[in-house]
Structure 1
Amino acid sequence: MSQSISIKQVPVKWITPELFQPYGELITPSPDGKLYDRTDAQLNLQNGIPRFYIMRLEKPGRKFHKITRHLQCTQCLGSLAGKDWLIAVAPPSPNNQPEIEKIAAFRIPGDCFIKLEMGTWHAGPYFDHETVDFYNLELSDTNQIDHCTHNFITNQNIEFQFVD
């Protein structure tokens, strides 16, 4: 007999530096010529060859049941063409699964990007547009050797849904 999957709603908040701090950094525009400081992305890409690329994603819907983390590098994501988008995150955890009660969801405007701390769990990008191109900065082999994914359906019979 199969168990039914329960849907857990995750309220979406507009991202701010303070709200996003447990998961990473919000990076916003700054004037040309500004010197490097703590408001710039504090990157850790020392464990391999950095990879900066544009990934094209098709409309993913508003539900997720998998969440991923990278332990070898920070990761930066941002949309092109000014399109807003969603991401669910949970802070780094000492074991191979995130703490469900600490999952948060954010709406990110299309004029900034985020930097995820090493070990931050993340599901997304998600969005309501048909297609969005994202710039992505990680290591060249992140998706091969540093991609720990937790499946909530398999492990807890839970699926999550973004709600505004």
Structure 2
Amino acid sequence: MAPANLLKQLTAQLITPTNFQPYGQVISASTDGKAYDCTDAQLVLHNGIPRFYIMRLHQRGRKFYTITRHLKCTQCLGSLAGKEWLLAVAPPTSATQPELDQIAAFRIPGDRFIKLEVGTWHAGPYFDHEFIDFYNLELSDTNINDHDTYNFLQHANLEWEIV
């Protein structure tokens, strides 16, 4: 008989520019005409054709056992219609897997978006609504040629749950 999967819980903290800094940026509304500065999304999109689109995701619970990173570009995500959502992340590493003790979860209000640094491990978005439409900015082939995934279940018999 195979051993039962270990379930680790992550408490989602409210995202702020400071606590999200190891993973990327939090972008909030600014006044029209504000000059470009470090509070704007610092994008890396020169390794291909940028793709900006709206993706509809359906509710799928808060458990995950895979985490992904993109090594060629930054990625921006935000929900439409002001809906709150959740994301698990780990900082970029040169290793082929994230550092387990560095995995964190964030609660992201619907009035801001995030930019993930190149190489940031991420799982989600997760949410409690039936569905949410998200805008997504990445490269046109990110999900084909730049999708490095680590499977916790396969390598560590581990599953995560955001609470």
TM-score, normalized by the shorter chain, greater than 0.5? yes
SS in 1 for 2:55: strand
User: Match for residue 2 of structure 1?
Assistant: 2
Aligned-residue RMSD, C-alpha: 0.5
In 1, distance between residues paired with 2:43 and 2:60?
28
User: Match for residue 86 of structure 2?
Assistant: 86
Matched, 1:133 2:139: no
Q: How many residues align?
A: 163
Give the drift of 1:109: 0.3
Please identify which structure carries the higher strand content.
Answer: 1
SS in 1 for 2:134: strand
Q: Which runs of 4+ in 1 moved over 2 A?
A: none
In 2, distance between residues paired with 1:60 and 1:121?
19
Amino acid at match of 1:107: R
Give the drift of 1:150: 0.4
SS in 2 for 1:153: helix
Matched, 1:151 2:147: no
User: Match for residue 36 of structure 2?
Assistant: 36
Return the TM-score normalized by structure 1. 0.98
**Which deviations, in whole Å up to 9, do the C-alpha atoms of 1:116-162 show, x marking residues without a partner?**
00000000000000000000000000000000000100000000001
Identical amino acids, percent of aligned pairs: 67
Amino acid at match of 2:12: V
In 2, distance between residues paired with 1:89 and 1:103?
6
Which aligned pairs between 1:14-53 and structure 2 lie closer than 5 A? 14-53=14-53
User: Match for residue 76 of structure 1?
Assistant: 76
User: Match for residue 109 of structure 2?
Assistant: 109
5+ residue gaps, structure 2: none
Amino acid at match of 1:60: R
SS in 1 for 2:92: coil
SS in 2 for 1:83: coil
In 2, distance between residues paired with 1:95 and 1:114?
24
5+ residue gaps, structure 1: none
